[in-house]
Amino acid sequence: MTPPGVVRLELGALGLDRGGRLLLAHALERLGVGDVLNVIGEDPALAVHLRAWARASGHSFEPIPDGGRIRVERTGLRSSVERERAGDVDPHHPGAVAEHPPLRWGLAARGADVDVAARDFDFTLSDKTVVWSDDASRIYAQAVAAQWDPLSAIDWNAPFELPEEIEDAVVQVMTYLIENETAALIIPARFAGRIHPHFREVMQVLAIQAADEARHIEVFTRRATLRRDRLGSSSAGGQASLKTLLDEPDFALASFLLSVLGRGRFSICSGSSIATRPTR
Amino acid sequence: MSRTLVLGAVAYDPKVVTIWDGFRHYFAEHGLDFDYVLYSNYERQVEGHFAGHYDVAWNSPLAWIEAERVAHARGRKAEAIAMRDTDQDLTSVIVVRTESPIRTLDDLRGKTLGVGAGDSPQATLIPLEHVRSAGVDPRSDLTVRRFDRLVGKHGDHIGGERDAARALIAGEVDAACMIDGNHLLFSQEGTLPAGSTRILSQTTTYDHCNFTVLDDAPRAEVGRFRELLLGMSYEDPKVRPLLDLEGLKVWKPGRTEGYEILNRAVDHQRYLEPWLESMRS
């Protein structure tokens, strides 16, 4: 019978070099200083490896038949150094989202137990008052639910006929839209990479927005090339206008300009296209 | 008034600089003015010790024996004041391929035994003494193939051991010598594929590195150095990274009873005689 404070671990044919080390580490985690672990196995090298492993791990060792006896001399070896909790995974819990999350929390999930010795990451948007919205998780869930498949949502094979000049106008509109949506993709994508991951839901909203714009680009490109094998034109003025959005360092302002100026530009451009449509 | 305590260490790896820069900072925070000098090899380090170039030597086990024997020849005393927990009770193993017909040390007669660098206690000197003690003379009963990597660093970098292990798998040697922990390491990293080798024999336990001082060392500063070493805790986040780099959990008081097999190896293999002769004058 195994005495109290003494635990027996049977590794069978599993050597320390073939995963037995993991079972050994798990067994030791449940023991305290002064406890003894008798490790038994069939691997001929077990006693040799146990001695070396115990020595490197700071535990005492003595050989026994078919293995070795390890006396625990220290615990907590798996823990590195000081740790801190990086907020709470549920954003609705009080204090879950930090006002100024440290850059050393880096890519760690909000709510994780973070090693304080981690090196700083370079996230330039880390102020809650600038970045956060309590609605972010709801908006993200809404966006996820609203995802659609262009292949099934649009009947690309539906027959239609348009006068040549109208089809040309449609292609030009699509060309504008592709340009607009490219800007609309780049802006959230650029900001997503600058936001501290502590504000996970905001990062996710921007990412899914970028994914939405990618889908728009795909749809507009496909429509433009249904009847034509070339796209329309892109103007220096139009690009200059969109460039002001890409150059805007403030996310809130950039999004506002994208929504108003970008969509407004479309309205103006599409209005120009419509104005050129011959009357029937 | 206290003075700077200077340590001598061998640069067997770039991390040696990180380690001793880190400890230097730690010692300064605890009121000990400390610095270190680096050597490319242990023999020059021991020579520098006796020439008074520094106070405390971070010696390999062979360098400890060199220091002890030179001190004895000159009517002086050497003392081991501290060592790592991982410097105590090591063993070495002699390894063969699993399918090899070699079952005993006696079966090594006429075979080729791969060892580490010529000055490696764990992979050369001690295993060869172990074989000799079993009645098989390495000088006449078998062929010793040395893998002389970075001779002068006493096998600290384990490069020669790894080469001997590779030669075993390649069939270039019939057996190879290595420290017990390296058989596990080499098996895990794939240098020795899983199931490809069998341990033929294991040596008795022996000790490894220690901090050596001579009889003219500054007692107060050495005492403070030893006190700070022995007082370091693995749970201290400031010191744990340095302890991890240096490969220990805790510093222990120095002891010398673990050098018996290495002393016998040095005597029988006469490895140190030319150098010791040069140091006697």
| Residue B99: partners with Cβ closer than 8 Å, 6 or more residues away | none
Does residue B98 sit at the A interface (CB-CB below 8 Å)? no
**Is the Cβ of B219 closer than 8 Å to some Cβ of chain A?**
no
A249 pLDDT above the threshold of 90: no
To the nearest whole percent, how much of chain A has pLDDT over 90? 72
Give residue-wise pLDDT tens across range A100-118. 999 999 999 999 999 887 7
Q: Give residue A98's identity as a one-letter amino acid code.
A: A
Segment A23-69, tens digit of pLDDT: 999 999 889 899 999 999 999 999 999 999 999 999 999 999 999 99
Termini Cα distance of chain A: 101
* Residue among A11, A16, A17 with most chain B CBs within 10 A, to mutate: A17
Q: Among residues of chain B, what percentage have pLDDT more than 90?
A: 87
Q: DSSP 3-state assignment of B181? A: helix
pLDDT at position A77 is 58
Which residue in chain A is spatially nearest to B252 when comparing CA positions?
A: A58
Mean pLDDT of chain B: 95
pLDDT tens, B218-245? 999 999 999 999 999 998 888 999 999 9
B92-97 vs A60-64, strand pairing mode: unpaired
The partner residues of A39 in beta bridges, in order of sequence, read: A9, A68
- Chain B residues within an 8 Å CB radius of A48: 91, 93, 180, 183-184, 199, 202
Phi, psi (5° rounding) for residue A5?
A: 80, 0
pLDDT at A4: 59
Q: What is the DSSP pairing of strand A67-71 with strand A83-85?
A: unpaired
Q: pLDDT digits over B21-60, tens only?
A: 999 999 999 999 999 999 999 999 999 999 999 999 999 9
The string of pLDDT tens digits covering residues A146-172 is 999 999 999 999 999 999 999 999 999
Alpha carbons B26 and A123: distance in angstroms, whole number: 32
Question: What confidence score (pLDDT) does residue A272 get?
Answer: 41
Contact between residue B268 and residue B127 where contact means Cβ atoms under 8 Å apart:
no
Q: What is the pLDDT of residue B133?
A: 97
Nearest CA among B46, B3, B100, B44 for reference residue B214: B46
For chain B (281 residues), the mean pLDDT of every run of 10, in chain order, is 90 94 96 97 97 98 97 96 97 98 98 95 97 97 92 82 96 98 93 94 98 97 98 91 94 97 95 88 65
Q: Cα separation of A109 and B159, whole Å?
A: 41
Is 90 exceeded by the pLDDT of residue A280? Answer: no
Contacts 24+ apart (CB under 8 A), B159-164: B159/B117, B160/B115, B160/B116, B160/B117, B160/B120, B160/B123, B160/B124, B161/B116, B161/B120, B161/B122, B161/B123, B162/B186, B162/B191, B163/B114, B163/B116, B164/B114, B164/B115, B164/B116, B164/B123
Which residue of chain A has the CA closest to B189? A17
Q: What is the pLDDT of residue A269?
A: 46
CB-CB neighbors (< 8 A) of A53 in chain B: 181, 184
Q: Is the backbone of residue B200 left (phi > 0), alpha (psi -120 to 50) or beta? A: alpha
Widest pairwise Cα distance in chain B:
67
**How high is the ipTM of this complex?**
0.91
